[in-house]
Amino acid sequence: MDMQYRRLGNSGLKVSALSFGSWVTFGSQIGDDVAENCMKLAYDNGVNFFDNAEAYASGKSEIVMGNILQKMQWDRSTYVLSSKVFWGGKKPNQLGLSRKHVMEACHNALRRLQVEYLDLYYCHRPDPETPIEETVRTMNDLIAQGKIFYWGTSEWSADQITEAHTIAEKHHLIGPTMEQPQYNLLHRERFEIEYAPLYSKYGMGTTIWSPLASGLLTGKYNDAVPGDTRINHKGMEWLKEKTVGAEAAGRIEKARAFSSLAKELGTSSAKLAIAWTLKNTNVSTAILGASKVEQLQETLGSLEALELLNDEVMKKIEAIF
């Protein structure tokens, strides 16, 4: 099935419904050759948005992606590139959303990714120690300088996003265009309820992460945890606990029931779970991750499962979760 392209909220920017991100994998879990093969596969299948952040592998993820982009020599107008700012280092001004850190982090991201501008730039988390107005003004300045085209937030509360828009409107500045939240069958409340007013009021777009709940919804943890998975990666202990820890037993039961339903429908749990997120019209794009080319090959076919999601199937999914 051909790739779909969706507007990023009310903006004129079009992003592929499936995008590709480098969290956990690039610069740490996978070799640069696998990263390159995955990016090429994604691009050849119509993916036009590649997601990154200064925090991913402490900047190495951006270096790996930048080297691949240099090698591929794709026309810059054919892809959308992002980075995020918050965790840049351990010294006082290497963290957070102060004007100093946001400006320096942006320049560092451009250098590592070897590009002249970022299409999307996110505040990776809210910063209680920096006034939101300081961050809004800095992002507006970066847009005016042509270093970024759109800015957004990631895992901010609806109140914080509203405050950013209110400040932007008051001072005739550019507010956030998009939010990057977690959204999947096991993590829904913030996206569906808390953010609901933001979509219509501000025309926010969304670039969702973890549509497979860190692999749980693929069914790969239904019986045991495989050794080569990202949740066994050093530094990911928190993710392992959240995904398959003591409190996650009920989640695995749901994943098993979901796997059975996918089988019944003649598709895979991974494709069905990703298609389910895309059924929500407030999702601009679902960011895929992969540690193997085969995984990405499979999830890039998720749009095929969209047509399986009729009212009856959606009710069955609701009953499971």
Q: Where are the alpha helices (DSSP H) in the chain?
A: 32-44, 60-72, 99-113, 132-144, 158-170, 189, 196-202, 237-244, 249-265, 269-279, 293-299, 311-320
Considering the domain boundaries, does residue 261 fall inside one? no
Considering the domain boundaries, does residue 230 fall inside one? no
The structural domain count of the chain equals 1
pLDDT of residue 227: 62
Q: Which domain holds residue 40?
A: 5-214+277-305
CA–CA distance, 300 with 227 (Å, rounded to integer): 24
Residue among 78, 98, 74, 79 at smallest CA distance from 88:
98
121 vs 137, 162, 219, CA distance in Å? 14, 18, 33
Mean pLDDT of 170-180: 98
State the pTM of this model: 0.94
Mean pLDDT of 38-59: 98
pLDDT of residue 18: 98
Considering the domain boundaries, does residue 272 fall inside one? no
CB 131 within 8 A of CB 102: no
Considering the domain boundaries, does residue 321 fall inside one? no
What pLDDT band is residue 223 in, cutting at 50, 70 and 90? Answer: confident
Mean pLDDT of 88-98: 97
Question: Amino acid letter at 294?
Answer: E
250 burial (CB, 10 Å; 0-12 / 13-18 / 19+) is: exposed
Considering the domain boundaries, does residue 96 fall inside one? yes
What pLDDT band is residue 235 in, cutting at 50, 70 and 90? Answer: confident
pLDDT of residue 229: 64
Whether residue 13 has pLDDT greater than 90: yes
Beta bridge partners of 17: none
Neighbours of 246 (CB within 10 A): 6
DSSP state of 55: T
CA–CA distance, 23 with 51 (Å, rounded to integer): 8
Considering the domain boundaries, does residue 300 fall inside one? yes
What pLDDT band is residue 36 in, cutting at 50, 70 and 90? Answer: very high
pLDDT of residue 198: 98
pLDDT of residue 245: 72
Considering the domain boundaries, does residue 311 fall inside one? no
DSSP secondary structure of 142-198: HHHTTSEEEEEESS--HHHHHHHHHHHHHTT-----EE--B-BTTB-HIIIIISHHH
Q: What is the mean pLDDT of the chain?
A: 95
Q: Is 215 helix (H, G, I), strand (E, B) or coil?
A: coil
Considering the domain boundaries, does residue 262 fall inside one? no
Q: Could you report the per-residue pLDDT of 51-88, keeping only the tens digit for each? A: 999 999 999 999 999 999 999 999 999 999 999 999 99
Q: Is 15 helix (H, G, I), strand (E, B) or coil?
A: strand
38 vs 57, 115, 270, CA distance in Å? 18, 20, 17
Q: Could you report the per-residue pLDDT of 115-151, keeping only the tens digit for each? A: 999 999 999 999 999 999 999 999 999 999 999 999 9
Check which CATH number belongs to the domain holding 146 and give it. Answer: 3.20.20.100
pLDDT of residue 291: 93
pLDDT of residue 231: 58
Q: Could you report the per-residue pLDDT of 256-304, keeping only the tens digit for each? A: 999 999 999 999 999 999 999 999 999 999 999 999 999 999 999 999 9
- Which residues have a catalytic role annotated? 56
**314's tokens:** 């959606």
What pLDDT band is residue 232 in, cutting at 50, 70 and 90? Answer: low
What pLDDT band is residue 1 in, cutting at 50, 70 and 90? Answer: confident
CA–CA distance, 86 with 78 (Å, rounded to integer): 27
